[in-house]
Structure 1
């Protein structure tokens, strides 16, 4: 099926998921869509977002809803950044070059994963606004080297993932003895070796083994101070769920936090990201930006996040679904669908822009109104 034909069949980002299932080898599909443990947190992310209901306003001029906003000081055509996702050449041969091109064309930032299958320099040539994601490496010298490469390539922010002292138990990958497809490597770590695609070993995941070899589980707040001194770029912490950690991030000069449970791929049983969002936003108190990650699938989800205190969201798996379904054009189509959904939802919610969306009231499935939720947020943050 050609990209044009595929795109015509995709009316929502979720439609791309089924196309991706058909296009990808089973082990790669499970690597993309899988979760830690039994998938409790993966499911909770969607269930929690589905419980949030918006209370629309009426009699407002929504003839031309504006989806544009700013993320980390950069203009974006919608409050979305493409999340950091590793080894995208496993999904499509063009990998990160295709998804970065899609982000460029839709006017949103693209986050380069430290474990990307194209180098930051190669991705920079595409011309997207780039953020650079890092894990805390055992070798600080290598961390600094990567930061300098990211700065030289033109990245405008650094995102440190803080919820991965070790990789979650991703049972599908372990049962399959997952290894990366032939020719797919971490472009920034070409000296890494693994079991190879021809000889999978049940119980061993190549990606988990590489992460264990490279990532230092001793990461602490003193290390954040050190990292803050290494770069003048805005610093984002990804993986914050507790409001006390958000307060501490502000004290350490962090520019943004991402409320994220790693898409359900780390601690199985962790709180759904959107359930954690209001308290984290309250704790940040406007002193740093707050982004939502994990489970975002639509333009309406973006409005829910903004109404609950987020500046914007990270979009992950749906972009990979589009990439698998139709390469760069597929990824671009998914991002375009999200923007169209966002514009449509803004109009129907009575919001001419994102500022109006931030003032919407919400009702949850248990009957709490937005006003009650505000008091609950204050109580939670105050109870230290």
Structure 2
């Protein structure tokens, strides 16, 4: 659990290990973390998690925009005691950091979502369960409660073309103790992702990352309906198709032998691909969400100030300013530049979270100073997961929180809740 003076405690832990010849498994800087993770991940896993849309211009823009803001430290202030704690939707959080949802996490490590949940619970910060996760949400919640009962967790919702599934997923999220519902808006269809395309690799087509669906009774009702109405077709037989079939059979519930011959597993994958997201999603759908849940509603993927204003007008509780880690639109506005516009547009009428390209404690500091209430961390925890499972995911985010704590104090501040733009200066 994050505590007062967490940064110094984390430093001391690492340096004490060094006295005994132990170096951290998870590197403490992002560049080395990324390099080592790439060395242990499969080509498919690396392409999916590290890759971006198009030529990667949005990923580059995320970094460049953060670099245009410089921290201006103040001195001769008593910073011996500092607070990273925040309140978010009625929950007290140890730090203004969340584990972002990342789909198909098993590409980095088996049982990825369960390990990530445990990591978040140990640190006392929320994990936003991925709608495209590799474990049912109930299993992840149980694992988190085994670490800290009632550990904070949210649920990410992809709005399906079938409202029965939407309603079922929301009901399950409420039952497993989600503190908020984060609706992803920017992936009503997949962006152009050359790293995946060049490998012909779509994890979901192999049954990877569809566990929220294959654990849902409404989903199986939809699959059964489609099977009843389907015409008999002979699939193309190839070595690749056989390998894919084995992958589907392993990832869908049921015995391997039965899944290899039964039509349901293959139909489940095709059903997911057909219905997982709704390109026609619009503001009317979002307005109707209030009738479906009492959970706080957070919209993920807003970048334009007018969209932020409309969300506030609908009574939305929070906004995650995000360009999906640069994975959807090549040449998009950076998350940091959009954050400034959205914060000004909202005027404190909703909680604002930042996402996409925030990889260090200094990055988090800048986002908070620009007006974010909290920051979502994505790739770093996935890289830590690839290196050392739950401990690696925990340590990757612990390092970010530790650097945030030290940056806070070394810049002359004692409370993240009091940061504002006077702590920064815009560079030309």
Task: Identify whether the pair has TM-score above 0.5, normalized to the shorter chain.
Answer: yes
Q: Does structure 1 retain, via aligned residues, the 8 Å contact 2:26–2:388?
A: no
Is 1:267 aligned to 2:312, yes or no? no
**Secondary structure at 1:166 match in 2:** coil
Cα distance in 1, alignment partners of residues 383 and 88 from structure 2: 24
Q: Which residue of 2 aligns with 1:376?
A: none
Structure 1 moving runs of 4+ over 4 Å: 191-197, 207-212
Cα distance in 2, alignment partners of residues 363 and 221 from structure 1: 36
Aligned length: 358
**Secondary structure at 2:128 match in 1:** strand
Quick one: which of 20, 29, 37 aligns to 2:54? 37
Q: Which moved more, 1:130-139 or 1:69-78?
A: 69-78
**Secondary structure at 1:258 match in 2:** strand
**Secondary structure at 1:239 match in 2:** strand
| CA offset digits 1:329-361 (Å, max 9, x no partner) | 111111110111011100111001113322534
Cα distance in 1, alignment partners of residues 349 and 211 from structure 2: 35
Q: Does structure 2 retain, via aligned residues, the 8 Å contact 1:96–1:118?
A: yes
Is 1:189 aligned to 2:213, yes or no? yes
Q: Which residue of 2 aligns with 1:28?
A: 45
Q: Which residue of 2 aligns with 1:336?
A: 398
Quick one: which of 131, 145, 166 aligns to 1:143? 166
**The structure with more helix, counted as a fraction of residues:** 2
Question: Unpaired runs of 5+ in structure 2?
Answer: 1-16, 146-150, 215-219, 228-234, 246-268
- Superposed, which structure 2 residues align to 1:63-74 within 5 Å? 63-74=80-91
Task: From the CA coordinates, give the structure whose radius of gyration is larger.
Answer: 2
| CA offset digits 1:98-139 (Å, max 9, x no partner) | 111110001100001111110010011022311000111100
Q: Which residue of 1 aligns with 2:198?
A: 175
Is 1:311 aligned to 2:368, yes or no? no
| CA offset digits 1:181-220 (Å, max 9, x no partner) | 97744112226899868359xxxxxx99955542111111
1:18 shift after superposition: 1.5
Q: Which residue of 2 aligns with 1:103?
A: 120
- Give the TM-score taking structure 1 as reference length: 0.88
- Superposed, which structure 2 residues align to 1:1-384 within 5 Å? 7-8=24-25, 10-126=27-143, 127=145, 128-180=151-203, 184-190=208-214, 198=243, 210-211=272-273, 213-358=275-420, 360-366=422-428
**Secondary structure at 1:342 match in 2:** helix
**Secondary structure at 1:188 match in 2:** helix
- Give the TM-score taking structure 2 as reference length: 0.79
Superposed CA RMSD? 2.4
Q: Does structure 1 retain, via aligned residues, the 8 Å contact 2:111–2:135?
A: no
